[in-house]
Amino acid sequence: MHVPDLSSICESESHVVLLFDQTPNSFCYLGLGSKRELRFEKPEPGILEALEAFSQRGSSWTFGWLGYDLKNTIENLETHKPNTLGHPVLAWWEPEILIRFSDVSIDILRGNKSDPRTTEAVEAIKRKGQLKEGPGGELSWSWCKTDYIKAFDQVQQLIQQGDVYELNLCMPLKGKADSKDSWPLFHRLQRLTQAPFSAYLQFGEYRIMSGSPERFLQKEGGRIISQPIKGTVRRGCTAEEDTALALALKSSEKERAENIMIVDLVRNDLSRVAEKTTVAVTELCKVYSYETVHQMVSTIECRLSPGKQLSDILHATFPMGSMTGAPKVAAMKHIDQIEVEGRGIYSGSVGYISPSGDFDFNVLIRSLFHNAKTEDLMSNVGGAITSLSDAEQEYEECQLKAEAIFTTIKK
């Protein structure tokens, strides 16, 4: 499926959302404008209940993002090193125009077919976007290799002391990009990654360009699905090397240990909102191949307990264990002490809530975050550390995960 041509739309509209999935039999969503919106600059008590009420009002489709710092409200934590980009911790809105499309169909879910904006959006979907080679930007690591290894050693000490048994350590990248480059950067990122949970969100000057391969949570009726990723290796240069790398990842004791630890955490989280005995691991440590990497993915499912609503589900599961570590609360406390800057929206989620209350949320990794007003650009890259981890290997894995980001912004 080609990326639609939204270059002019992103210049004329203040609110744009594109949830782009090019896996077989998938739907993409394009929303323009904002009929109503919910915005919180910082975590506040009752914020998830406010989102639930907002999504239920009017039986409408709503879209937006959940920032990592919602953890402070959910678990009564603090962020001592705030993120400087300025994105609201929660931004959610109901588009004025909403179109669902695939390779074979285009359906207008909201909006008048004769409205010029709707017509423009349909034509943009039909038209293949022209990749703009000129835009770029700059990004640089906030940590050098020595800084990373020093932080890695701190995590290993915490593991040896029994404070945590897995912790996701991340490094920020900071730089600049022109205010008009948000959409071209997403287009380039999507071309490079072709990730199944890609997304572009524009909420005024605040932009998210996500090439995420990971699903946080999906609700379909009474069924909840979570698909954490732990374990990454590059793609091979030849078919033989590619197969060998995938097999090595599948059989890696270290990577499987990381993955299984998070599977156990997700099982525990889901059990808080699931019908008894319904939490099940339906895929364990399965290797999926994406454009630039192989990833180890597990799938955990459950039946939702009667009466449990969106706020209950998010209180039980957010933020996702794959981006924190285990035990989750202890890991988040130590992350705030060790990492150089607050994560902001990174490690949060973007997605939709349907009129029926179903939803699909990704994990905000492999993403760029842009403030078009200040032209500040950020990204983050990291990975899980356990007792089996090696500092050099973990650092190299971070470099691998950042390759698509650096290629995206290269002029």
Take residue 368 and report the two structure tokens written for it: 């760029």
Of 325, 340, 17, the C-alpha closest to 186 is 17
Q: Is the dihedral of CA 165, 282, 19, 66 positive or negative?
A: negative
Catalytic hit among 174, 219, 230, 401: 230
Of 169, 184, 210, 183, the C-alpha closest to 404 is 210
Looking up tokens 């904002």 gives: 34
- Evaluate whether 24 touches 47 at the Cβ level (below 8 Å): no
- Evaluate whether 319 touches 336 at the Cβ level (below 8 Å): no
If phi over 0 gives left and psi between -120 and 50 gives alpha, with beta otherwise, what is residue 344? left
Query: Is 138 known to be catalytic?
Result: no
> 8 phi and psi, to 5 degrees?
-75, -35
Q: How many CB atoms lie within 10 A of CB 118?
A: 19
Judged on CB neighbours under 10 Å (0-12, 13-18, 19+), 373 is exposed
- Evaluate whether 354 touches 29 at the Cβ level (below 8 Å): no
Question: What is d(CA 334, CA 337) in angstroms, rounded to the nearest whole number?
Answer: 5
Catalytic hit among 214, 258, 341, 397: 214
> 56 phi and psi, to 5 degrees?
-85, -20
Q: How many CB atoms lie within 10 A of CB 154?
A: 16
Query: Is 230 known to be catalytic?
Result: yes
DSSP sequence for 188-240: HHHHHH--TEEEEEEETTEEEEEEE--EEEEEETTEEEEE-EEEEEEPPSSHH
Looking up tokens 């287009």 gives: 187
Coil, strand or helix at 138: strand
Helix then strand then coil, in percent of the chain rounded to 5, is 35, 30, 35
What is the set of active-site residues? Answer: 214, 230
